Amino acid sequence: MAPSTAEDTFPKLLIRNAQIFAQRPAYRHKDLGIWRAWTWSQVHEEVRALALGLSALGLKRGDKLAIIGGNRPRLYWSMCAAQSLGAVPVPIYADSVAEEMAFILDHAEVTIAVVEDQEQVDKILSISDRLARLSHVIYDEPRGLRNYDHTRLNWIDDVQKLGRERLAADGKQWWEASVVQGKGSDLAVILYTSGTTGQPKGVMLTFENLIVSAVNANRFDNLGPQEDVIAYLPLAWVGDHMFSYAQPFTAGFCVNCPESPETVAENRREIGATYAFAPPRTYENLLTLTMVRMEDASRLKRAAFNYFIGLARRWGEKILNGEKVPLHARLMYRLGDLLVYGPLRNRLGVSRVRLAYTAGEAIGPEIFRFWRSIGVNLKQLYGQTEASVYVTAQPDGEIYADTVGKPNIDVDVKVAETGEVLFRSPGVFAGYYKEPEKTAETKTPDGWVRTGDAGIIDAKTGHLKIIDRAKDVGRLNDGTLFAPKYLENKLKFYPNIREAVAFGDKRDFVCVILNIDLTAVGSWAERNNVVYGSYQELAAHPLVYDMLAEHVAEVNRSLAQEPAMAGAQIRRFLILHKELDPDDGEITRTQKVRRRFIAERYAPLLTALYSGASEADIATEVTFEDGRKGVLSARVKIRDVSPIPAPAVLDKAA
**DSSP assigned state of 443:** B
112-132 average pLDDT score: 95
Confidence label for 255 from pLDDT (cuts 50, 70 and 90): very high
Q: What are phi and psi of 245, to 5 degrees?
A: -140, -65
CA distance 615 to 617: 7
| Cα angle 55-61-65, degrees, rounded to a multiple of 5 | 70
Question: What integer pLDDT is reported at residue 129 of this predicted model?
Answer: 92
Q: What is the pLDDT of residues 593-620, one digit of tens each?
A: 888 899 999 999 999 999 999 999 999 8
Q: What are phi and psi of 365, to 5 degrees?
A: -55, -35
- pLDDT surpasses 60 at 523: yes
Q: What is the pLDDT of residues 72-103, one digit of tens each?
A: 999 999 999 999 999 999 999 999 889 889 99
Question: What integer pLDDT is reported at residue 492 of this predicted model?
Answer: 86
518-529 average pLDDT score: 91
Q: How many CB atoms lie within 10 A of CB 100?
A: 21
Confidence label for 625 from pLDDT (cuts 50, 70 and 90): low
CA distance 372 to 385: 27
What order of strands is seen across the sheet that includes strand 420-424?
412-415, 420-424, 449-457, 464-469
- pLDDT surpasses 60 at 650: no
Contact (CB, 8 A) for 620 and 650:
no
Contact (CB, 8 A) for 596 and 603:
no
Q: At what angle do helices 484-492 and 542-560 cross, to 10 degrees?
A: 120
Confidence label for 467 from pLDDT (cuts 50, 70 and 90): confident
Domain definitions of the chain by residue range: 10-276, 474-653
Cα–chain center distance at 412: 24
CA distance 297 to 275: 31
Contact (CB, 8 A) for 492 and 500:
yes
Question: What integer pLDDT is reported at residue 395 of this predicted model?
Answer: 94
Calculate the average pLDDT of the chain: 92
Q: Which of 245, 228, 225, 229 is nearest to 237 (CA)?
A: 245
- pLDDT surpasses 90 at 521: yes
**Longest Cα–Cα distance in the chain:** 92
Q: What is the pLDDT of residues 405-424, one digit of tens each?
A: 999 999 999 999 888 999 99
Q: What is the pLDDT of residues 297-306, one digit of tens each?
A: 899 999 999 9
Proportion of the chain above pLDDT 90, given as a percent: 75
Confidence label for 198 from pLDDT (cuts 50, 70 and 90): low
| Cα angle 452-456-460, degrees, rounded to a multiple of 5 | 155
Question: What integer pLDDT is reported at residue 196 of this predicted model?
Answer: 54
**Can you point out the beta strands (E) in 346-409?**
355-358, 378-384, 389-393, 406-407
483-507 average pLDDT score: 90
Question: What integer pLDDT is reported at residue 538 of this predicted model?
Answer: 96
Q: Which amino acid is at 159?
A: V
CA distance 463 to 401: 11
Strands 449-457 vs 464-469: parallel, antiparallel or unpaired? antiparallel
Class of domain 474-653: alpha beta
Confidence label for 627 from pLDDT (cuts 50, 70 and 90): low
234 or 589, which is more confident?
Answer: 234
Q: Which CATH number fits domain 10-276: 3.40.50.12780, 2.40.37.10, 1.10.10.10, 3.40.1260.10?
A: 3.40.50.12780
Proportion of the chain above pLDDT 70, given as a percent: 97
Lowest average pLDDT, out of 146-150, 305-309, 566-570, 581-585, goes to 581-585
Q: What is the pLDDT of residues 170-183, one digit of tens each?
A: 878 999 999 999 99
pTM: 0.85
Q: At what angle do helices 299-320 and 327-336 cross, to 10 degrees?
A: 130
Confidence label for 626 from pLDDT (cuts 50, 70 and 90): low
Lowest average pLDDT, out of 201-210, 265-274, 419-428, 644-653, goes to 644-653
CA distance 294 to 523: 11
Confidence label for 651 from pLDDT (cuts 50, 70 and 90): very low
